Amino acid sequence: MAGAFPPHVGFKLSTQKKYTTFTRATTIKKITTHLTIPHIGNARPSCEYNWPMTTHNINFDIYWPRIWRSIGTILSDPTEERIWRLYLHRGVYVRNRDNLAPTQVCRLNCFHPANPSPPEESMLHLVDCPIINIFWNKCLTFTYTVLGTPPIPPRAHRNAYHKAIIFGLTPATITTLLNTQTRAFLRHAWGVVYRHFTQVDTDLTTFNPHVAFLHTLLSFRAATLRLAITTAQDRHKIRYSTLPISDPTKADEALTNLLAPRDPNTDPLSHPLSLPFQTALTQAEAEAY
């Protein structure tokens, strides 16, 4: 009987070092690790080698364990982070990856027609493209004026620019992450800007960095209000339930600078945006249309 049904304590999978309880040893994450280790061994994701070694590469070191642990924030779900995660793995489509493409130059025509060597549409070009750069500058301005992030140098400071936009790192070091709000916002931005970028080919549209920025703000606003409502509901549960509920303190920290103080006499599910956030949204609407 004990062999068929192991006791609740003193249990571990063959790939685990320490004994623990059965429920802790058989989480989805640990079972996935147990099943994949025999196939991958000590192999690392190929992107860790390719980012610094490709033709259009980065020229600074990356502390990858910190990057992988930063995946997922309280203000961005896996769907909203999908494009950023794909980009981190160098998995998004760009023209210089396609040998059968009619041309490998940037689809936004971000170069002078007389230029004898127009820029390739590479992974890094999604950050360095002069037209997309208008969008990224707007995003970084928002992180400084609304989210309280220290100013990030412009594109002339190439390494600092790439650290922030691609990896969510501060310009100073390779191990310090930007705050949660900024990382979440930039991941929303990646999803929006890549959609607008691909629609240039798929729908024959014109890339408009101002519209892309507005859509990024709207996406981030939706995530902010979603978290605010969920936190309000959790507080209600904590007040009237004896069941264990997650502490909403972390959510309160993530919502700092994003929401205005709420009048207790109003609808408990009504959460007005902070003045800087609302001002940025109003200005983006005026510039986009």
Q: Are residues 131 and 198 in the same domain?
A: yes
Q: Are residues 37 and 118 in the same domain?
A: no
Kindly indicate the confidence band of residue 17, based on its pLDDT and cuts at 50, 70 and 90: confident
Q: How many Cα atoms are found within 13 Å in the side-chain-facing hemisphere of 18?
A: 3
User: So what's the pLDDT on residue 165?
Assistant: 95
Average pLDDT for residues 43-70, to the nearest whole number?
90
Q: Are residues 83 and 208 in the same domain?
A: yes
Q: Are residues 278 and 226 in the same domain?
A: yes
Q: Residue 39's domain spans which residues?
A: 1-43
Q: Are residues 100 and 188 in the same domain?
A: yes
What share of the chain has pLDDT > 70, as a percent?
89
User: So what's the pLDDT on residue 8?
Assistant: 60
Q: Are residues 22 and 99 in the same domain?
A: no
The 3-state DSSP class for residue 275 equals helix
Q: What is the pLDDT of residues 199-239, one digit of tens each?
A: 999 999 999 999 999 999 999 999 999 999 888 887 777 76
Rounded to whole angstroms, the Cα distance separating 145 from 274 reads 12
Kindly indicate the confidence band of residue 189, based on its pLDDT and cuts at 50, 70 and 90: very high
Q: Are residues 62 and 94 in the same domain?
A: yes
Q: Are residues 100 and 29 in the same domain?
A: no
Q: Are residues 13 and 77 in the same domain?
A: no
When comparing pLDDT for 139 and 250, which is higher? Answer: 139
Kindly indicate the confidence band of residue 95, based on its pLDDT and cuts at 50, 70 and 90: very high
What is the crossing angle of helices 130-145 and 275-288, to 10°? 160
Residue with tokens 């310009």: 171
User: So what's the pLDDT on residue 264?
Assistant: 65
Q: Are residues 161 and 234 in the same domain?
A: yes
Q: What is the dihedral of CA 261, 264, 269, 270, to 10 degrees?
A: -50
Average pLDDT for residues 126-133, to the nearest whole number?
94
Q: Are residues 189 and 56 in the same domain?
A: yes
Residue with tokens 């919502």: 255
Q: In the beta sheet, which residues pair with residue 177?
A: 169
**DSSP readout, 33-84?**
HHHHHHHHTT---THHHHHHHSSS---S---HHHHHHT--BTTB-HHHHHHH
Domain count, the chain: 2
Q: Are residues 14 and 132 in the same domain?
A: no
Q: What is the pLDDT of residues 156-175, one digit of tens each?
A: 578 889 999 999 999 888 88
> Which two three-digit tokens encode residue 73?
């924030």
**Is residue 75 predicted with pLDDT exceeding 60?**
yes
When comparing pLDDT for 114 and 9, which is higher? Answer: 114
